[in-house]
Amino acid sequence: MKNSQQAVYKRILLKLSGEALMGNSNAGIDQLTLDRIVAELKALTQLSLQIGIVIGGGNMIRGATQSKGKLSRVTADQMGMLATMMNCLAMRDALQAEGIVAHIMSAFAMPGIAETFDRYRAIRKLEQQHIMLFGGGTGNPLVTTDSAASLRAIEINADILLKATNVDGVYTADPAKNPEAKRYSTLTFKEALAQQLAVMDLTAFSQCNDHNMPLRVFNIGKPGAMLRIVTGEDEGTLVTR
């Protein structure tokens, strides 16, 4: 049965960090957390919303941290790309267990596991209401999955990029350290740059600005946040040109 609410967007790209899947664990995937996120995504599919997802790999390995040892940064980042594929596999199966058709596309060839990213094929599947999981980052080292998210959002002609974090938007200061910090309801890319606000990595931020891709930063741990965003409510922080 369709939800009585209406989505204000046709197609979104959701950026999930790997850490968002950990729940209260120190690493890996927490099943209860995964199930909760899937339940929220299921509510979005009832609005006939087209959904693409990029997932990070920080719950398995972080390239920047591992490269401080004997691993080169390139090798560590390649390991991180593989970690994103592991998260995509878990998310796909969790979605399909709820009757949601989901497909994985990888930035690099992984025959037998996922098809390689193809922009036109991805858009066709989105139009069929299939959730598309984009793994492998950009397929290149030395950039984060934030850059993969901005890239895929632009490539699939998403209406907005939703960046899931552990805080409910962009603040004037770190709210964990400064209780006086205020949340911005809206921001421009220029204002965020001028005030040196940590929204996402600079490469991804510049791509969104250059290609006029609106960005909404929100708290993935807040129940119903995604649904409120896609139905037009004031949730998190909206960053626009």
Q: Tell me the per-residue pLDDT of 67-81, one tens digit each, with 9 for 90 and over.
A: 666 789 899 999 999
Q: Which amino acid is at 97?
A: A
Nearest to 13 by CA among 46, 44, 59, 57: 44
- To the nearest whole number, what is the mean pLDDT of the chain? 93
Our separate counts of H helices and E strands in the chain read 8, 9
Give the pLDDT score at 196.
85
Q: What is the pTM of this model?
A: 0.94
Measured at the CA of 137, the angle between CA 131 and CA 142, to 5 degrees, comes to 165
Q: What is the mean pLDDT of residues 141-150?
A: 95
* 153 backbone dihedrals φ, ψ, rounded to 5°: -60, -45
> Do residues 170 and 187 make contact, with C-beta atoms less than 8 angstroms apart?
yes
- 71 contact partners, CB below 8 Å, separation of at least 6: 79
Measured at the CA of 160, the angle between CA 126 and CA 174, to 5 degrees, comes to 135
Please give the domain boundaries of the chain with CATH numbers for all domains: 11-240 (3.40.1160.10)
Q: How far is CA 169 from CA 5, 157, 198, 199, 219, in A?
A: 23, 24, 11, 9, 7
pLDDT tens digits, one per residue of 178-222: 989 999 999 999 999 888 888 899 999 999 999 999 999 999 999
